[in-house]
Amino acid sequence: MALDFTHDPARRCIVASAHAPGCDFTLQNLPFGVFRRKGGNDPFQGGIAIGDQALCLAEAQARGCFDGLAGQAASAAGGSTLNELLALGPPAWRALRHALVRLLDAQEPHPKAAALQAALVPLADIEHALPIRVGDFTDFYTSIHHAENGGRLRNPPVGLAPNFQWMPIAYHGRSSSLGVSGERIHRPWGQARPSSNEPPVLRPCEMLDYELELGVVIGRGNARGTPVALAHAMDHVFGLTLLNDWSARDVQAWEMTPLGPFQAKNFATTLSPWIVTLDALAPFSVPWRRPADHPQPLPYLESAGHRAAGALDIELEAWLQPEGKPASRLSRTNFRHQYWSIGQMIAHHTVGGCNLRAGDLLGTGTISGPTAPEAGSLIELSRRGREPVALANSDDRRAFLHDGDRVILRGWCEAPGRARVGFGEAAGTVLAAHPAGSL
């Protein structure tokens, strides 16, 4: 994750809106997505976001904007998913990034700049599809603060699982129910057991929740039976996206003994439409830390380089907008608090020989910080409904999500002497459960 000319915060862009205060999609970012113009039947195509514009890479390539390895990467990124680009690996990703920055540079005008500008479309005029075809989705559980909060909410309270401080825990999620920001989610049905003295019942979820996470998009895969060493783990990451792992808490509480989540998690997971590349995040790598009095990682999860720069400084927020009312910020936290890093997740995922493939998705698990306002889910913020959360500019208090609620996740990186790099948002709206007659 070395820095180069593409990270220079002094560079100016030919798209003036990329310099607006608080702009997520700066010249130093250039996140990838898949989109098309609204209201038409054109195929979805890959591109990047810059300021308030989206650049269609297939059109830019057709106009002769790229050549060499960058041209190969642009062609691969121009399809209906980004998987072909992901499979090319870091040299191709980097060549395309370098070419884009040169083409968009306002201080050293490029001969093809006018051709590139002709391929721009206002963000307000596009609609999105999932940017990748996800073969497998693994959801991790890597926040010690989320784990401790959850244990305290059990009856009776329990401590950390014995394995939590020794390895990144995960379960296999459902790729078929992944959706893109803006989707509408029906409240799920499921089995719940209201009381230990009563039999379970099938009913619409009464404790619907969100989880504030990041999604890790795998680029270059590994051969089956070949573990990925921690030192090389990040070479397999294309980038990160926001991820809302919607959760039916009453269903989850009943079904999770003795195995992990199933129907409580398989009905919907919402991703933001833009993937922020690892190269764009390079200026925000920070040391990975483990308290000295905690168990230290086994050798395959440990290295000096990882200690020096294995974490990422990403600010994250969760917002809730009840139907017809203003949005309220529920929490703000930072990804640097995670107990296990992305590199450690990959090293552990593959240590037994599992082969990751281009387009695979890893969820980080709920991202919660050390203080109460940094919790990444309503079950933590409301203490399992015992202390419902007050919303700004409203008399509403929410323990869990209501029909009509819109959940919005946001994320960005900022630091002195660095250009802002943002993720946009992952938003989804809760609809009423399907009627009982449809079961």
The pLDDT tens digits of the residues spanning 346-355 come to 999 999 999 9
For residue 34, the one-letter residue type is: V
What percent of the chain shows pLDDT beyond 90?
94
Q: What is the pLDDT of residue 189?
A: 97
Residues 297 and 355 in one domain: yes
With contact defined as beta carbons under 8 Å apart, do 103 and 65 qualify?
Answer: yes
With contact defined as beta carbons under 8 Å apart, do 367 and 337 qualify?
Answer: yes
Domain boundary among 96, 111, 129: 129
pLDDT tens across 118-128, in order? 999 999 999 99
Q: What is the pLDDT of residue 253?
A: 93
Q: What is the pLDDT of residue 392?
A: 84
Residues 122 and 162 in one domain: no
Buried b (16+ CB within 10 A) or exposed e, 378-399: bbbbbbbbeeebebeeeebebb
Phi, psi of 149 (to 5 degrees): -60, -45
Q: What is the pLDDT of residue 2?
A: 86
Residues 67 and 157 in one domain: no
Residues 197 and 335 in one domain: yes
Across the range 388-400, mean pLDDT stands at: 87
pLDDT tens across 25-66, in order? 999 999 999 999 998 889 999 999 999 999 999 999 999 999
The closest alpha carbon to 219, from 306, 291, 278, belongs to 278
Q: What is the pLDDT of residue 397?
A: 87
The closest alpha carbon to 322, from 217, 385, 243, 396, belongs to 396
Across the range 376-391, mean pLDDT stands at: 95
Phi, psi of 417 (to 5 degrees): 75, 10
Element (H, E) at 32: strand 32-37
User: Across all residues in the chain, what is the average pLDDT?
Assistant: 96
Across the range 385-393, mean pLDDT stands at: 90
Is 395's pLDDT higher than 80? no
Residues 125 and 15 in one domain: yes
Across the range 395-407, mean pLDDT stands at: 93
The count of domains in the chain is 2
Q: What is the pLDDT of residue 185?
A: 97
The closest alpha carbon to 227, from 346, 399, 53, belongs to 346
Residues 153 and 240 in one domain: yes
Residues 402 and 353 in one domain: yes
Residues 180 and 196 in one domain: yes
pLDDT tens across 135-171, in order? 999 999 999 999 999 999 988 889 999 999 999 999 9
**Which one-letter DSSP state was computed for residue 91?**
H
Instruction: Read off the CATH number of the domain in which 306 is found.
Output: 3.90.850.10
Residues 87 and 60 in one domain: yes
The closest alpha carbon to 340, from 144, 53, 138, belongs to 144
Q: What is the pLDDT of residue 1?
A: 73
Domain boundary among 129, 153, 176: 129
* Its pTM surpasses 0.95: yes
Across the range 84-101, mean pLDDT stands at: 98
Point out the residues that are catalytic.
Answer: 146
Residues 309 and 201 in one domain: yes
Rounded Cα distance, 300 and 216, in Å: 20
The closest alpha carbon to 52, from 327, 408, 424, 411, belongs to 424
Residues 383 and 265 in one domain: yes
Residues 146 and 121 in one domain: no
> Domain containing 61: what range?
5-129
Domain boundary among 73, 94, 129: 129
Reading the block at residue 288, the tokens are 């990975």
pLDDT tens across 264-313, in order? 999 999 999 999 999 999 999 999 999 999 999 999 999 999 999 999 99
pLDDT tens across 223-257, in order? 999 999 999 999 999 999 999 999 999 999 999 98
Rounded Cα distance, 266 and 176, in Å: 9
Q: Is 193 exposed, middle or buried (0-12, 13-18, 19+ CB in 10 A)?
A: middle
Instruction: Read off the CATH number of the domain in which 28 is found.
Output: 2.30.30.230
Name the band, by pLDDT with cuts 50, 70 and 90, for residue 192: very high
